[in-house]
Amino acid sequence: MDYSSLKSEVEQKTAQTLEVLQNEFAGLRTGRASVHLLDGIKVPVYGAEMPLNQVATVSAPDTQTLSVTVWDATNAPAVEKAIRDSGLGLNPNTAGGVIRLNLPPLTEERRRELTKVAGKYAEEAKISMRNIRQDAMGKIKRAVTDKEISEDDQRKYEEDIQKVFDGRASEVDAMAKQKEADIMSI
């Protein structure tokens, strides 16, 4: 058993889990406009579903407004419809190839709902990391039963792997706490 490759695999998979969590958090609305709010929207253009950022430029001119500049003005109605149907509760205003989105202030109730969603995303990330840890610990145990490593090595490797997961779990907690603070700030 090659412990260094196992550890690097664990670090890579947990880093990917954090990246997924960060992308999920980017799609959650906070008290101010964020260009990442529209990242998950797909637009039916040119006979295919394309991500919004491949047909338009999204910018945030101020804290309550998003501006979507469609590169091909003939696609503006499709982009507008995709934004309206996205479930984000946004009402697009179109002027030529530019779509303006005014973000109304979040109500207290909506902020609480969004913090629950953020907590759910964080919990899913932790579950994913637990599964990665369980898989790694299983590989270490199999190496002991196959007499590839000693029990002393097993303990050392398991403690080392656990430290990686403890660090990543604290990163998830910090990201969740920061996102909750962003959502609840007015």
pLDDT at 186: 63
Show the DSSP H helices in the chain as ranges: 3-26, 76-84, 108-145, 151-184
pLDDT at 13: 93
Please count the other Cβ atoms lying within 10 Å of the Cβ belonging to residue 19.
11
pLDDT at 165: 92
> Cα angle vertex 87, ends 82, 89, to 5°?
100
DSSP at 104: P
User: What domains does the chain contain, in order, with CATH numbers?
Assistant: 3-26+107-184 (1.10.132.20), 35-102 (3.30.1360.40)
- Kindly state the tokens that stand for 102: 């005014």
- Kindly state the tokens that stand for 69: 């500049």
pLDDT at 31: 66
CA dihedral 154, 159, 165, 170 (to 10 degrees): 170
pLDDT in tens, the chain (186 residues): 788 888 899 999 999 999 988 888 877 766 677 777 787 788 888 888 888 888 888 888 887 888 888 888 888 888 888 888 876 777 888 887 788 888 777 788 878 888 888 899 999 999 999 999 999 999 999 988 888 888 888 899 999 999 999 999 999 999 999 888 888 876
| Long-range own/partner contacts, residues 1-8 (CB < 8 A, 24 or more apart) | 1/139, 1/140, 1/143, 1/148, 1/149, 3/149, 3/153, 3/157, 6/136, 6/139, 6/140, 6/157, 6/161, 7/160, 7/161, 7/164
